[in-house]
Amino acid sequence: MSERTRVDEFLSSLLAICHPLEPFEMALLDAHGATLAEDIYADERLVIKSGTRIRSTQIGLAASIGRNRLLTRPHPRVVVISAGPDLVEPGTPLKAGEEYETNSWLLTTAVREVGAVAYRVHSIPENDAQLQSVIEDQLVRADLIIISGERKDDSFDLITRVLSSMGDISTVDIAIESSGRHNFGVIGPEKTPVVTLPGDPVAAYISFELFIRPMIRTMLGAATIHRPSVKAKLEKAIASSGGFRSYVRAILAEDGKSVMPLVSGGSSAQDEQMTLSDANAFIAVPEGELNVAAGSSVTVVVLERRYI
C-alpha cells in the first residue's frame, strides 16, 4: 500500500474488533490476576472498585470480609502462532538459510505479562491448507490470535491468503519507522480477532506494545489500556527518518527526569535484541522530526520501572 496508516487509526480499528470478556464468578485463587467486574462492599463501605486488577492484596481483603468468590472478567486466551519454513526451534543446530524462531517466545511471554493466558504454537506450513488447519485447531481456545511470520515477506503472503479465506481481513502498512505490514480482522464462526505482526522481533515487540497490549487490556476490562508516558530530558541526540513516527529503545533514569537512547553495537539480530532487552522505555519521536538534540524534552513511553 502506498499510503501508511497512522498509529491511532490502526489502534482504533483493533479496539473495534475486541471487547471486554463476559464476567463470571471465580474462586478466590482462580480470580488472582483477573479484573474485578463489580464493586465490592463491606457493609456500606466500598472496599474494591470494579475494574481493579486482582492481586494478592485484593484476594486477602476479599477473604477478610468473607468473600470466597469474585465476579471477574477472565484472563483472555491468546494464541501466538509463528509460521515459517526457515524458522528453527532454539536448541537445534542451524543449517544454511535457517534462523532461530524468536517471535513466539517473545510474544507469548509478553502476553503473559499483560495478564492473559498464552498458548505458543510453532508451525512450519508447506501450503495454505496446512496453515489453515493449524489456525482452525486453535480457534476453540482463542479469544485472540497473534500470528508472526519470518523476516522475509514470503510467509506473510501465505498467512494473508489463509486468513482472508477464513474471515474478514484487512492489510495495512503502519506509519512507524522500520515497521512492516500488518493483517487484522476476525475469523471463524465466533469472529475471533486476529492480528499479524511483523517478522522482525524488534518491530513485532513495538507493535505488541502499541496495539496488542491495549487489546488484551480491553478484553480484561482494565481501567487503563495504555502504558504511562512521561516527559524527560534527552541525554543524547537521536536521528529519525522524519517520514514516520519512530519508537527508540531507551533507558529512563530512576528519577524519571532523563532518558538515554540505546544504540546497537552491531547490525546483527542479536545486537538489536540486546538493546530491546536492556530498554525500560521507548522514546516516541513524532513524524517530521529528523533530528532531536540532546537536552530536548521528549515523550517517553514507560515499559517498566526496572531497577536493581
How high is the pLDDT of residue 1? 39
Residue 307 lies in a domain: no
Instruction: Indicate if the pLDDT at residue 97 is higher than 90.
Output: no
DSSP notation for 250-287: EEE-TTSSEEEE---SSSSHHHHHHHHHH-SEEEEE-T
Mean predicted confidence (pLDDT) in 238-264: 89
Quickly state the pLDDT bin for 287 (edges 50, 70, 90): confident
CATH code, domain carrying 248: 2.40.340.10
Mean predicted confidence (pLDDT) in 123-130: 84
Instruction: Indicate if the pLDDT at residue 284 is higher than 80.
Output: yes
| Domain residue limits at 263 | 229-302
Beta bridge partners of 119: 79
Beta bridge partners of 111: none
Q: Are 139 and 187 spatial neighbours (Cβ–Cβ below 8 Å)? A: yes
| Helix boundaries (H) for the chain | 7-15, 28-31, 56-64, 103-114, 128-138, 154-166, 201-207, 213-220, 269-278
Number of domains comprising the chain: 3
How far, in Å, CA of 291 to CA of 68, rounded? 57
Q: Say yes or no: 207 and 293 in one domain.
A: no
- 257: buried, middle or exposed (CB in 10 Å: 19+, 13-18, 0-12)? exposed
pLDDT in tens, 139-151: 999 999 999 876 5
Quickly state the pLDDT bin for 152 (edges 50, 70, 90): low
Whole-structure pTM value: 0.89
Q: Which of 188, 220, 252 is the last residue of a domain?
A: 220
**Assigned C-alpha cell, 87:** 524458522
Q: Are 302 and 230 spatial neighbours (Cβ–Cβ below 8 Å)? A: yes
Residue 178 lies in a domain: yes
Q: Say yes or no: 131 and 160 in one domain.
A: yes
pLDDT in tens, 38-59: 999 999 999 999 989 899 999 9
Q: Say yes or no: 190 and 173 in one domain.
A: yes
Residue 138 lies in a domain: yes
How high is the pLDDT of residue 179? 85
Instruction: Indicate if the pLDDT at residue 17 is higher than 90.
Output: yes
Give residue 256's identity as a one-letter amino acid code: G
Q: Say yes or no: 273 and 295 in one domain.
A: yes
How high is the pLDDT of residue 307? 46
In angstroms and rounded to an integer, the radius of gyration of the C-alpha atoms of the chain is 21
